[in-house]
């Protein structure tokens, strides 16, 4: 019987095996919807259709998770989104 192959551990820069983080945006009545759309596409590099869905979620439910990555990247994304007055929060993707 053959032994299962073991894959080597590879260190890829920017790829973390640690916990993932998320950026949450919160709905407000002051920030223009078009500005939110533009900043989401810019900050998260998402497709326009995804940005529309995330904006709808924030409008409907009061908040939306818009980005998942390592902590530093999420903090950078949240900082860009925050420049237009949208409240953001960076937290662990799952409670550990």
**Residue 3: pLDDT band with limits 50, 70, 90:** low
Q: Can you tell me the distance from the alpha carbon of 72 to that of 82, in angstroms, rounded to the nearest whole number?
A: 15
CA angle 64, 67, 69 (to 5 degrees): 145
Of residues 89 and 11, more confidence is placed in 89
The reported pLDDT for the residue numbered 75 is 98
Hey, where are the domains in the chain? 21-92
Among 65, 57, 58, 56, which residue's Cα sits nearest to residue 23?
65
Query: What residues are paired with 31 via a beta bridge?
Result: none
In CATH, which of 2.100.10.30, 1.20.1050.10, 3.40.50.2300, 3.30.1390.10 is domain 21-92? Answer: 3.30.1390.10
Q: Taking the model in full, what pTM does it have?
A: 0.81
- pLDDT tens digits along 39-92: 999 999 999 999 999 999 999 999 999 999 999 999 999 999 999 999 999 999
């Amino acid at each position: 019987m053959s032994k299962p192959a073991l894959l080597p551990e590879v260190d890829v820069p920017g790829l973390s095996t640690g916990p993932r983080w998320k950026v949450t945006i919160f709905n407000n009545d002051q920030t223009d919807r078009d500005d939110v759309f533009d900043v989401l596409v810019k900050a998260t590099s998402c497709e326009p259709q995804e940005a529309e869905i995330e904006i709808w979620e924030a409008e409907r439910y009061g908040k939306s998770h818009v980005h998942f990555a390592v902590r530093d990247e999420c903090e950078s994304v949240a900082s860009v989104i925050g420049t237009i007055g949208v409240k953001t929060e960076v937290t662990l993707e799952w409670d550990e």
